[in-house]
Amino acid sequence: MLDLADDFEPLDLLAVAAHPDDVEQTCGGTLIKMAETGYRTGILDLTAGDMGTRGTPTLRIEESMAAAKQLHAAWRGNLRFPDARLENSLPARMTLVGEIRRLRPRCVILPYWEGRHPDHYRTPEMVYEACFLSGLARMDEGESRPHRPYKVIYSSMYATVTPSFVVDITGQFERRMQSLFAYESQYGEQADGNGLFPNKAEIRDRLHSIARYYGNLIGAKYGEPFVVKEMMRVEDVVAMGVRSF
């Protein structure tokens, strides 16, 4: 486990992803915005991207730590689960229970529960179940105290679904791109897999277009979409955001 900080002060927001650079693409702007607001944020990557064509697991983790600094994350860790072979097993869930109890996040961001890569749809299943189990007082995991996050939200950037809400990341978009390009082994000019991967300019153009689309839905320049399974609660209908006309 690699940490950006030695203390284990509870996190306000924890983003969990299958691979290094997943968070940067899907909810990096939201993490930056929440950190700038004053919340303590963290990232937990389940694998080191061992199966990737480019780079090495050690290099990917090093790059993820550089990216975490761009995201203003207070903490980042990597469980080194086997890439492309994630399984929702009891040992994996109990490892996650230990991390959740140690980090004690109030809110957790997970990948959307459907996706092309098996790791991407197994991650939310594993972590959701671990979040529930973590709150069981009789679930023994050493001397750790029970903890259950208050809220689980799902990043739906690459899912063809209507988001429950969109976060305005106009002020954070460029820094989010800087965090993604910290993965030089993945997005720099490389001979390995040169015909398989778009170049940096094409990646920027694609992510720019997606963020512009979701930003437009809320009258902002750039946005990141999320889905929640619970009904949203509104206290003041007069003060609701996003114009109707």
Residue pLDDT tens, the chain, 245 long:
445 544 579 999 999 999 999 999 999 999 999 999 999 999 999 999 888 878 899 999 999 999 999 999 999 999 999 999 999 999 999 999 999 999 999 999 999 999 899 999 999 999 999 999 999 998 876 678 999 999 999 999 999 999 999 999 999 999 999 999 999 998 876 655 556 667 888 999 999 999 999 999 999 999 999 999 999 999 999 999 999 99
Task: Report how far residue 114's alpha carbon sits from residue 122's, in angstroms, rounded to the nearest whole number.
Answer: 9
- The answer to whether position 239 is within a domain reads no
- The answer to whether position 30 is within a domain reads yes
Whether the Cβ atoms of residue 152 and residue 227 lie closer than 8 Å to each other: no
- The answer to whether position 83 is within a domain reads yes
- The answer to whether position 242 is within a domain reads no
CATH code where residue 75 lies: 3.40.50.10320
Question: Domain tally for the chain?
Answer: 1
Identify the domain containing residue 74 by its residue range: 13-231
- The answer to whether position 133 is within a domain reads yes
- The answer to whether position 140 is within a domain reads yes
Q: pTM of whole model > 0.85?
A: yes
- The answer to whether position 68 is within a domain reads yes
pLDDT digits (tens, 9 = 90+) for 92-121: 999 999 999 999 999 999 999 998 999 999
Task: Report how far residue 238's alpha carbon sits from residue 236's, in angstroms, rounded to the nearest whole number.
Answer: 5
- The answer to whether position 1 is within a domain reads no
pLDDT digits (tens, 9 = 90+) for 161-203: 999 999 999 999 999 999 999 999 988 766 555 566 678 889 9
